[in-house]
Chains A and B, each alone.
Chain A
Amino acid sequence: MSVIQTIPKAPTQDSLYEQASQEYGSALGRLARAYEADPEIRRDLLQDIHVALWRSFAGFDGRCSLRTWIYRVAHNVGASHVEHQRRSRTQILVDLEELDQLPDASSGQPAADRSQAMDRLLTLIQRLKPLDRHVILSYLEGLDAASIGEITGLSAGNVATKIHRIKNLLARQFQQRGEAND
């Protein structure tokens, strides 16, 4: 009996992009929302992320998972966008420690509905410096500490500290119970 073995085709730049777009399209949309509040500019940013992904796949060597690769590229494009916008809008970004100490009028107040909670969460994220923004977004996407370390390049200890701070910050800002749960 002859066994015909088919050698699996190596994924091409185009096929990798198609796969990324299908599997992570929504995550990329959420990520763009965290990097740009203006819907018009956000659409442009999202397109830039897609183009950057497609371009990057020409050099994808499988040394990290497809997910890590996608998040890295998308976050890096988002961070470059924030840096560019910061220069033109003179926006001041803070890190997690500073954000935790800033007074916030809405802090501790329950949000009226999910939409209000979402707006508050986005405002909070958009005030963060890129690296801390990466960590909080990855945490919200449900990634574990090891994956976040792989995406950001931060040491495991540093990621653990940052996640601990994020949890405390979110708990204080959103009152641990009730909110966003209805």
Chain B
Amino acid sequence: MTDNPNTPLQNLWQSQPVESIHMSIEEIRKRAGKFERKITRRNIREYVSSLIAATLFGWFFVRTHDVFLRIAYVLFIAGLAWVVVQLRRKASSKTLPLAMEAAASLQYFRAELERQRDAVQNVWSWYLAPLVPGFIVMTLGYWHSMPYPKGLIASAIVDVCVAALFYGIWRLNLRAARCLQRKIDELYAAEKS
């Protein structure tokens, strides 16, 4: 505590009526368990959505007889599996380690921002790139299965849309990473100044 006597505003702040709660250790354990279950549910949701997408590609695989398209769907499923593996590897970085909760605020914020930056700045390598081979082979499939120039036009349209979408996602993430890096630099400066 400070040696100086409190100012009127400090007195006002400290004497305000507040609701303080008392939780028994049993209640605490129960709520902590609830938090863990929430994380597990979030992970399950991600796996289930990937499974649904993979099933859809599997269904397309069965329905088509074109070799190129079949290879494309297999590549999509493999790409999705790779994304799921990466998601699992990154799961530990979705929340900060427990020890960080008691770190000084500045270090805590910085760690949180660095975690977010790392997640968005590598989005190309772990999230977008694994799906590219599937799209390339699918393009060949359209050329192969549809009469000229219909196949060429259809594949060009799909490719341009997908390329624009990927580029947009990549640029947005890059911008977010730069913005996070600026905030991180500000915190480093605040620590040193």
Chain A residues in the interface with B (C-beta under 8 A): 14, 17-18, 21, 25-26, 28-30, 33, 39, 42-43, 46-48, 50-52, 54-56, 58-60, 69, 72-73, 75-77, 79-80, 83, 114, 117-118, 121, 130-131, 134, 139-144, 150-155, 157-158, 170, 174, 179-181
Contact = CB atoms under 8 A, between A and B. Distances in A.
Interface stretch (B10-18, B61-69, B76-84, B172-180): B10-18
Contact of B19 (A46, A54, A56, A75): A46
A130 B11 CA distance: 22
Q: Which of A55, A144, A170, A179 has the most C-beta atoms of chain B within 10 angstroms of its own C-beta?
A: A55
Contacts of A33: 16, 18
Contacts of A72: 101-105, 108
A157 B99 CA distance: 27
Interface residues of B, number: 40
Smallest CB-CB A-B distances: 7 pairs: A153-B104, A153-B106, A29-B18, A25-B20, A180-B12, A140-B13, A29-B20
Interface of B: 1-3, 6, 8-14, 16, 18-23, 25, 28, 31-32, 35, 98-109, 112, 190-193
A80 B112 contact: yes
| B contact patch SS | helix
B9 A170 contact: yes
- Chain A interface main SS type: helix
A75 B35 CA distance: 19
B152 to A, nearest CB: 43
A142 B10 contact: yes
Given A117-B12, A144-B3, A154-B191, 6 more contacts: A25-B20, A30-B13, A118-B12, A118-B13, A141-B10, A143-B1
